[in-house]
Structure 1
Amino acid sequence: MMKTLPHRSYLRWFMRLTFIPFLLLISVMGSLIARPVHGQNPLKRTVSLSIANQSVETILERLEKIADVQFAYSFELIKADRKASLTVKNERLEKVLNELLTPLQIDYSVTGPRLILLKPRSGEAVLPPSSDFRASLAPETPASVDKVVTGTVLDEKSQPIPGVNLVVKGTQTGTTTDAQGNFRITVADDQAVILFSSVGYLGQEVAVGNRTTLTVTLQDDNKSLSEVVVVGYGSQKKSDLTGAVSTITAKDISRLPVAGIDQALQGKSSGVRVTQSTGAPGEGVAVRIRGVGTINDNSPLFIIDGVPTKDAFSVLNPADIESMSVLKDASSAAIYGARAANGVIVVTTKRGKSGAPRVTFNAYTGIQQHGRLIPMANSQEYINIYNEAATNDNASITNPSLQRQLIPSTLQVADTDWQKAIFRTAPIQNYQLSVSGGTDKSHYLLSANYFDQQGIILNSSYKRYALRASIDTEIARKVKIGTNLNITYSQRSIVGSSGDGYGGNGGSIVRYALFRTPAIPVYDQNGDYADLPQFPAFFGDGYNPVGLAQKQDNKEQQYRVFGDIFGEWQILKGLRFRTDAGLDLNIVNRKTYNENWGTNNRINSPSTLVNRFSPASTITWNNTLNYDITIGENHQITALAGTEAIHSVSRDVGGSDRNFIDQVSNLRYLGQGADITGRQSFESDSRWSLFSLFGRVNYAFRDKYLASVNVRRDGSSRFSPTNRYANFFSGSAGWNIDREEFFQPLSRTISLLKLRASIGQLGNQDIGNYPYASLVGSGYNYVFGASPQTVAGYAVVTRGNSNVKWESSTQTDVGLEMGFLQNKLQITADYFIKRTSDILVPIPVPKSGGSAAAPYVNAGQVENRGLELDLIFRYKKGAFSYDISANASFIHNKVLSLSEGRPIPGGRIDNGVFGTLTEPGYPIGSFYLLQQDGIFQNEGQIFTSAFQGNNIKPGDVRFKDMNGDGLINQLDRSHVGSPIPTLTYGLTANLQWKNFDLSAFFQGVSGNKIYYQVATDIEGFYRAFNVTQRVVDDHWHGEGTSNTQPRVSWSGSANNKQPSTRFLEDGAYTRLKNLQLGYTLPSTLTKKLGSSTIRVYVSGQNLLTFTKYPGLDPEQQSSDNVNNEQFKGDVAVGIDWGTYPSAKTYTVGLNVSF
């Protein structure tokens, strides 16, 4: 039975591979948790240093390297450009800092390995020391004391901030917060105002009034000099970036109840379009960065903690993400060379931090419901409309056998709403538990997650169990090792979500619900699923969609191990080596049983079973050498050199069986089918490798003038030896104009002004394996000899092309970053040109060449031009604050050439009929249809218009004669729109008042079209399907009655349902993706409960959708993916066959930390 597949042996191997190292990680972390937190005071470390007449900034950088500490300070505040000298030998850092900082009148406080430098002292304005200060302070100027104010300073995540400076406005009275963020300060009266300031946060003024206790929340300062952005193989200060990089933080992600990390990107970054393929649970999404650049793979590369993958959905729980950096231009992405043409998304996960163990628990639970439904005819309307069609047709049909009968108007029938029958209210729940902590040398984090989403369509669901461990430790001085390990197991129950499957089981459940006449009940008198009705000629088309959903037994299990082991060695000052070995192991087992059922067992006859097992593994090993050096006071150079090796192997093994006599679930195994001759087995194996050399140099002069150069050389086994290697380059430059002397008079108004530009070339190797080699297949048998004997034969089934080379993308970008009102308002604008060349396309071959598939050649060129805008505004007054972030992307896509390749049809909309055409001058996959020109109102209009056929009647659709030849045919098709949006946008608003918080997130697209394919069947009137309400209300039934919907007629369907703009709809929409209201319990209460923070919230997802699209859901990337047409992907999207819609979700949640 199941032993026919090597499933159990793989499972045992999988468990050994993951369980043993996971136990080791738990043991190590357990010892860390149990270990007392000690050695965290860096002031006891010894330092030896001799430096003369250098800036304070330079001396602090040297001390950071030697003592392995971090200094946090404002350059202007401590006047770090002042010169100083220091000579010490084997002295404690505490004494060294006192010697250096006391003469400069600079104080400091200690928080773990971080030392916070405070503003310089003067004899007239002195802050009293907190218990953490180790430097002597000048005496405080006495102030009149009227009352004492105490309180806590928190960040935007409700975490305490130590070392915050407090000063009573207009006085010399001040203090700082302690390690728990608490403070105590005296003020003169109720009119006093306290100024709060801290490095990395926006300053704030708070009026005391009659309060004696304050809770103050400081917002992050995005212009902080210490802000770091993660980029390829490293990180950079944001102010030093010369490329187009967007960052999505954990805060942006935390409010969204999504299952995958790719879903969390939607609407959060300009230039990034994220579209749900369908609304089915566990379904992936399509991510497109700066448009669609090729007819092949357009998916970006994900780098998760240094490990690459193209399938990021099942790798991580979104709650484990610290940040995501979207590398959009050539300058930022070129370091990934042959895999970066579609953009790169670098994901950094959360890690443990020094301090006592910290436990967090996050949970939400709720329900999901369908959105709006398509108005359909009820039973009486259905009978009336088909009687009208029969009356219209019988007058012209002379053969009695073809005449339609009238349905008795008094016939007693059911009145079933099939959409409501397939949809349900479905639960959703998510639970996340994590523990983290560490010492000054070791850090750990362990998290567990359970996610369960039942689908809003019957028998669809997705469950995921995830464990994650992250640990790093300093095993010797300047040597650190660590690991990240993610283990997930998921289960999916799958029903048809898109396409028609040529009438088979794979078709969309929604599609069949729209087809089914309301005159048939869900169940017959015996309690079975009702199938064929009383009048089959009228009611017999289509399957019972409830039965179709419930009878599908399509289950998928996925086991995934994703992680890395790394080591770092600080060789010399500024010179660091890192080696990183990564693994992506993905094992998928999919078992599909098609049960035989229906009237006379007409559906799925015979029953069939397919069981397939698909393991895949990718091993990555990269080594990097980083060197940072400052020459003098003005020149900063950062260099990177590295190697990367990748090896990927995938297998697909399985079998099929059919005609199961007993269809009970515990006998659905291979080998149990009665048709022995129908049993089949299959197996395939595929592998590829990549080896790369890469380097990067960044240069900054006085932090004003910036430059960066990237180079990478890739060698891929996917190409022939003559074209196996390719080089990729990029260069960029930036200018921090706001740091120029001449700009200072404007600095109070314009606090940030930066200009940058980049150009470079990237590659795309994801074009399939070995297109240069011809593929030989079996099954070409031949008969030889006088006494005929059949001999097994083989033949070329796919022609290769040894000259195939990489697809390449040349990209140019110009960006402007601006900040106003001390960066409360920030605006970023980018204009880009992205030109993809050498796109692989098939070329036609003469019939004399045989039946082998056409070879591919590098013959296509596509261009994307666009403008991206990002805006952030922050405001705070007293206990009320809000921030608004918005982004918009305007993109124009155009095919420049296909060279010798012919135009590419795609997007099947009927058997042998395609609705899109990719050719030069138009976007990829643009719709290529006849144009509806109203409805023929009378015979005169038919006579004076272009000839459309012999049976055209008043009430039929009229089409435009585009070529003017007086004849309507396929030559009159034209390009009438694109499924690619010209505008993509997102808007997020966060408001906070005292302990209440409210957030709203809107997302939308515009400028795209959707072909409403299912309407060609339910409005085309060629079979006895149900019809939409708009057909009932708006169809033509006499001159002047309608100019949009034709007459109801079977004989007219050949004309009226032709691929045309009649079924092409506006796909634009604006959607309220998320609305959340939360309340954080007061700290006085949470402390009594033994917790540091407790927050409760209610949330809604997909609550409102504003669109003109008449289908269930305008957000879709689907086509008829069930069918194996030659051209799929982005040349065939935007076709709605009755797609599984996104759900409205209502949840309540809890965030707790200890």
Structure 2
Amino acid sequence: MNNFSLNKGWLVLCYSLILGLCLCHSPLFAQNVPLSTTSKQQVTGTITDGGAPLTGVSISVKGEQKTVISNFDGKFTIAVSSNDILIFTYMGFKTVTMPVDGRSVINIRMQEDATTLQEVKINAGYYSVKESERTGSISKITSKDIEKQPVTNVLATMQGRMAGVDIVQDSGSPGGAFTIKIRGQNSLRADGNQPLYIIDGVPYSSETIGAIATSGTAPTLTSPLSSINPSDIESIEVLKDADATAIYGSRGANGVVLITTKKGKAGETSYTVNASTSFGSVTRTPKLMNTQQYLAMRQQAFANDGVTVFPSYAYDVNGTWNQNRYTDWQKELIGGTPEVNNLQASVSGGSQRTQYLLSGNYRTETTVFPGDFKYTKGATHFNMNHTSDDDRFKITFSANYIAQKNNQPSIDLTRVSRTLAPNAPALYDANGNLNWENSTWDNPLAGLLSQFDSRIKDLTANTVLLYAIRPNLQFKTSLGYSDLNSNESRTQPSTMYNPAYGVGSEISSLSTNQTTRTSWIVEPQLNWNKVIGKGKIDVLLGGTFQKQRTERLFLNGFGFASNSLIHDLASASIKTIDLSDETIYKYQAFFARMNYTWDERYILNVTARRDGSSRFGPGKQFATFGAIGAAWLFSNEALLKDNSVLSFGKLRTSYGTAGNDQIGDYQFLDTYTSSGNTYQGTIGLQPVRLFNPEFGWETNRKFEVAIETGFLKDRLFLTTAYYFNRSSNQLVGIPLPGTTGFSSLNANLDATVQNSGLEFTLRTVNFQHKHFEWTTNFNISINRNKLISYPGLESSTYVNTYVVGQPINSIKLYHYTGMNPTTGVYEFEDVNGDGTITSMGDRKTIADLSPRFFGGLQNQFKYKGFQLDFLFQFVKQQAFGSMPGVPGTAINQLASVSDAAAQQPYTAGANGAVTTVYYRYGLSDGNLQDASYVRLKNISLTYDLPLKFTHGVRCQLYMQGQNVLTFTHYSNGDPESKFSGYLPPLKVFTGGVKLTF
């Protein structure tokens, strides 16, 4: 479905179809010719939740072993006698018992049961556990949440839906990156806070690929996480506390994100086709000066500077440019409407013993920038499960292959769209060529001729073999493999420069980056369980053996005979190698888990892991991590067993350690690189890193206590958690004197970072009726980060970066005291009283730029075939206001700056004192703004067409919106944008149709 344009003919056809089909209504129960009471005959029917059919419902005959499964259309067929009783069971729904009573057709409507959600299995990585019995902190979303969001990055699906998981979109450019923090920032290193990602049991490296020289419009390097296809995901679990993460040892300090892909289901072969088209736009843009306001500011600035005749270079005010011209540059440069086309198809089915799923996805996305830029992604997913006839042997195979092609401008026009004079010349001349207006400006579209091209191919495969040696003893082996191949390039042709400069293709350049990353992992495991009286014990033993190889090659080419050859590095007259290296990461570990449950009331969970990593020096390569978790199901006590108000109650706590080895490879070794310089005809080497075998693991100690309570048969379910984490033995680069020849030495610092906080989640079933249901999910997280200790901080180069007792994401600022009533210039507190304002002596005010709290509110409504979902995301935070340049210079400003009485005197640049104070104001608390916001993050409306006469076909129409509305007082555009001047998140509206047959 390449075009979702709603022309008149399409509307008439759809309206007629929907109107006609809505007249068809199926009764809740239907009867047909009575069955014989002695012989077996076929009973058929359809199972729904009041609107949509339910796939995978188990239908069994009471007192017999016979069981069948409803197919994709909710239909079933079973051979029964007239006096048999059918039992319908489905996870998350109330069990239905229905006597056959002589009928040949039985249609069933099942209702969701909040109580049974406690029986849902949660993926904890190496094992699964019932929601009611888990001792750790695990948040989860499923494909039902994911498929309602028109996004391409897996992290976008989690925003606002999980307590303790703070996710920020760094850029709205196609393939742009996200930042994730689970329960705060643990490491002083910005690149040391990534969680561990696991896809179907295979670790997936989140280390960035690429280089600054070849990166595109995003403010960060290419993130491999964009390679994960959200439509192939069945569930995402996030492990947060020590009990849940310690089993991952050295890689679990920042949390673990478990991604489980979709699996095949038993039943008739079903086919699904899902097609959609989306249109987007920038969420929020700041209100800028118009031409009259801008020129008035410029004229006043020159007057303030004592300039009576405008200089020749002041083209905007001296008459060179049309002073009656106005262009909304934000609309012109970043106001485009990107189109996203998405097509997904799958086939699945199988028997009770063997199931399979094969799916494919193709997605194209354009951009808001002018020009023919496109992001294309194709994905294939395959899964097969098989169980032997004696149920002792099981095999599962999953594979995901994704190919991406991303062609984008290598610059982001967001900043220039907010600073360019509103009366600047037209972009094109009368002949349709770039307009340079007699060399009076740099045409912003010229930068689009410098392009970023990325091609990424990514394969992840996993096989799990399980054999039951005895009914209570199983041996399992997980085998995983991943292969990532990335090729990036950035071109800078001579045509991006003003032709008046007389430059030719000899200055054209090409930068390329080739990165390959392969990894294999083997994890043998042994699981034993036994029931002893009222107790139940479960023991898991296992090992991990992993190897990862990364190869990188960064090349540059300069000077091409023609720009048509710019993508051919061999045609460059000068070629250089910036980097050519190969790194190997080896990892091995042994882990154990013991879980004991007594009388379904008391649970004890103990985990331990012994890790070894090649990233540390001799004697420091191994470390031990572990945790203990406990839970008390007090609702199972005799006193509360049949309580009509309290339906569930659990108190849990955990304490343990996890580690962090996110430091890159070979950091402890003496390393050398080719200098590129020759001596007597030989190219020499130069040292780049000093040997230090003493540094070891960062360690994170985690404590948590939580209470989970359900009321009124779990129709109201509340979870409250408090956590307290301390990360020590920080791995940082300790600065060295320049005389050593090295800028820093990697070493452990006896610094400690603390994160503590509260998390609340609330789920309510507000209304549950035959045809109407309403449920609500709410979560809020409050995190406080603090630097507890940093020996020698005052004498280090980080003295102006960190403050003991303050958050590590805080910043030292001047204290703004107001405007001088005489001069009108900004003034600041002289903290040390020396009569001058200096950075070292007076930047003492501390501002925390981390969110004070964040969360989300989700509501879901079901009425017959309709389903409406919407999620509000909220964040309480502060951020710096707009500081594009000194007001009065040739830079456009916020419209509010046109109020001269609220500003210090404009200057065109001659008043150095005003200029200095302006930039000082930018680093003061006076420039802080409330950047809190509430955003309608996602809305989805789905309608199941009642296709009564089209047997075997299910049709869903849906409309979705992402980043629909934003409520904020922030003046500088979108409050989520972390990097000022980069494209903010996009507002996206989607329409689509999903067919299953």
| TM-score interval (norm. to shorter) | 0.7 to 0.9
* Alpha-carbon offset, residue 624 of structure 1: 0.8
Mark the CA change 1:404 to 1:877 in structure 2 (over 3 Å): closer, same or farther: closer
CA distance 1:360–1:233, change in 2 (3 Å):
same
Q: Contact 1:200–1:221 (CA<8 Å) still a contact in 2?
A: no
Corresponding residue of 1:649: 549
Corresponding residue of 1:1095 = 956
Determine the structure 1 residue equivalent to 2:21: none
Return 796-805 or 643-652, whichever deviates more.
796-805
Residues 803-818 of structure 1 correspond to what in structure 2 (within 5 A)?
803-818=694-709
Match of 2:784 in 1: 892
Aligned to 1:823: 714
Deviation at 1:472, TM superposition (A): 2.1
Q: Give the structure-1-normalised TM-score.
A: 0.74
Identity %: 28
The alignment partner of 2:639 has SS state of: helix
* Counterpart residue number, 2:422: 518
Shift of 1:904: 8.0
Letter in 2 for 1:302: Y
1:1035 equivalent to 2:900? Answer: yes
For 1:544, the equivalent position in structure 2 comes to: 443
Contact 1:616-1:649 at 8 Å conserved across structures: yes
1:163 Cα deviation from its structure 2 partner:
6.3
Among residues 663, 683, 686, which one is paired with 1:767 in the alignment?
663
Instruction: Provide Cα deviations, 1:951-1006, integer angstroms capped at 9, x if missing partner.
Output: xxx22211222333332111211344223212010111011112111111111211
CA gap of 1:1023–1:683, structure 2 versus 1, over 3 A, is farther
Q: How does 1:428-447 map to 2 (within 5 A)?
A: 428-447=340-359
Q: Are the equivalent residues in 1 in contact too, given 2:735–2:743 (CA < 8 A)?
A: no
Q: What is the correspondence of 1:744-1143 to structure 2 with a 5 Å cutoff?
A: 744=641, 747-779=643-675, 793-874=684-765, 875-900=767-792, 917-938=801-822, 954-970=823-839, 971-1006=841-876, 1008-1012=877-881, 1015-1018=882-885, 1020-1021=886-887, 1023-1032=889-898, 1034-1036=899-901, 1042=902, 1046-1050=905-909, 1051=911, 1052-1058=914-920, 1059-1084=923-948, 1088-1118=949-979, 1136=980, 1138-1143=981-986
CA distance in 2, matches of 1:217, 1:407: 76
Aligned to 2:202: 307
| Partner amino acid, structure 1, of 2:941 | L
State the alpha-carbon separation in 2 of the partners of residues 924 and 1116 from structure 1: 20
Retained in 2: the 8 A contact 1:859–1:901?
no
2:119–2:132 Cα contact (<8 Å) kept:
no
Larger Rg, first or second structure (1 or 2): 1
Q: Do the aligned partners of residues 974 and 162 (structure 1) sit closer, same or farther apart at CA in structure 2, a change above 3 Å counting?
A: same
- Contact 2:300–2:888 (CA under 8 A) maintained in structure 1: no
Q: How many residues align?
A: 908
Question: What's the offset of the Cα at 1:213?
Answer: 11
- Note closer, same or farther for the CA distance 1:410–1:367 as it changes in structure 2 (3 Å cut): closer
Partner of 1:242: 135
Classify 1:719/1:156 alpha carbon distance in 2 versus 1 (closer, same or farther; 3 Å). Answer: farther
Which residues of 2 match residues 371-520 of structure 1 at below 5 A?
A: 371-394=283-306, 407-408=318-319, 411-412=322-323, 414-422=325-333, 423-459=335-371, 460-474=373-387, 477=390, 478-496=392-410, 506=411, 508-520=412-424
**Equivalent residues in 2 for 1:663-678, closer than 5 Å:** 663-664=563-564, 667-673=566-572, 676-677=573-574
* Cα gap change, 1:581 to 1:845, in 2 (>3 Å): same
d(CA) in 2 for partners of 1:635, 1:410: 85
Matches within 5 A, 1:20-169: 152-154=47-49, 158-159=53-54
Partner AA of 1:717 in structure 2? S
Say which is worse superposed, 892-901 or 983-992, in terms of deviation: 892-901
Contact 1:242 1:756 in 2 (8 A): yes
- Contact 1:163-1:179 within 8 A present in 2 as well: yes
RMSD: 3.5
On the 8 A contact 1:890/1:983 being kept in 2, the answer is yes
Q: Distance in 2 between matches of 1:806 and 1:847?
A: 28
| Counterpart secondary structure, 2:610 | strand
**CA distance, structure 2, for counterparts of residue 225 and residue 417 of structure 1:** 55
What is the one-letter code of the residue matched to 2:142? Answer: T
Superposed CA deviations along residues 97-146 of structure 1, whole A, max 9, x for unmatched, are xxxxxxxxxxxxxxxxxxxxxxxxxxxxxxxxx9999999xxxxxxxxxx
Contact 1:199–1:224 under 8 Å retained in 2: no
* Distance in 2, Cα, partners of 1:322 & 1:133: 43
For 2:268 and 2:548, the matched residues in 1 are separated by: 41
Could you tell me how far 1:1067 is from its partner in structure 2? 2.4
Paired residue secondary structure (1:390)? helix
Match in the other structure for 1:555: 453
CA separation of 1:162/1:557 partners in 2, compared to 1, >3 Å: closer, same or farther?
A: closer
Equivalent residue, structure 2, for 1:262: 155
Shift of 1:361: 2.0
The amino acid that maps onto 2:422 is: P
Closer/same/farther in 2, CA of residues 593 and 905 from structure 1, 3 Å limit: farther
In the alignment, what sits opposite 2:23? none
Distance 1:1094 1:905, change over 3 A: farther
Is the 8 Å Cα contact of residues 300 and 906 (structure 2) preserved in structure 1?
no
1:25 maps to which residue? none
Measure, in 2, the Cα distance between the counterparts of 1:265 and 1:285: 11
In structure 2, C-alpha distance between the alignment counterparts of 1:177 and 1:572, rounded to whole Å: 27
2:29 matched to which residue of 1? none
Note the C-alpha offset of 1:220: 4.3
Partner amino acid, structure 1, of 2:660: N
The SS at the match of 1:653 is strand
The CA distance in 1 between the partners of 2:272 and 2:574, in whole Å, is: 58
- Cα distance in 2 for partners of 1:134, 1:582 equals 54
Query: Cα deviations across residues 577-603 of structure 1 (Å, max 9, x unaligned)?
Result: 111111111100011111223324659
The letter for the 2-side match of 1:323 is: S
Gaps of 5+ in 2: 1-33, 78-85, 98-104, 207-223
Change (3 A) 1:196 1:1069: farther
CA deviation digits over 1:664-696, x for unaligned, max 9?
2x55311223xx345446411111110000010
Cα deviation for residue 1047 of structure 1 reads: 3.6
Does the aligned pair in 2 maintain the 1:842–1:901 contact within 8 Å?
no
Aligned CA distance change for structure 1 residues 177 and 791 (closer, same or farther; 3 Å): closer
* Distance in 1 of aligned mates of 2:846 and 2:37: 71
Cα distance in 2, alignment partners of residues 985 and 847 from structure 1: 46
- Of the three residues 652, 659, 662, the one matched with 2:562 is 662
| Alpha carbons 2:402, 2:458 under 8 Å: kept | yes
- 1:414-458 CA distances to partner (integer Å, 9 max, x unpaired)? 322211111211111211111111112211110001112212223
CA distance in 1 between counterparts of 2:453 and 2:684 reads 37
1:827 counterpart letter in structure 2? L
- Give the structure, 1 or 2, with the largest relative contact order (CA under 8 Å, sep 6 or more): 2
Unaligned runs of 5+ in 1: 1-129, 137-148, 168-175, 185-194, 207-211, 497-505, 784-788, 907-913, 939-953, 1037-1041, 1119-1135
Displacement after TM superposition at 1:555 (Å): 0.4
8 Å contact from structure 1 (residues 390, 405) kept in 2: no
Contact 1:635–1:701 under 8 Å retained in 2:
yes
| SS of match in other structure, 2:884 | helix
Q: Helix, strand or coil: the match of 1:1016?
A: coil
Equivalent of residue 361 in structure 1, options 273, 297, 300: 273
Q: Aligned in 2, Cα 1:850/1:152: closer, same or farther, shift over 3 Å?
A: closer
User: Does the residue aligned with 1:333 lie in a helix, a strand or coil?
Assistant: helix
Q: Secondary structure at the match of 1:894?
A: strand
Match of 1:273 among 143, 157, 166: 166
CA 1:396/1:230 → structure 2, altered by over 3 Å: closer, same or farther? same
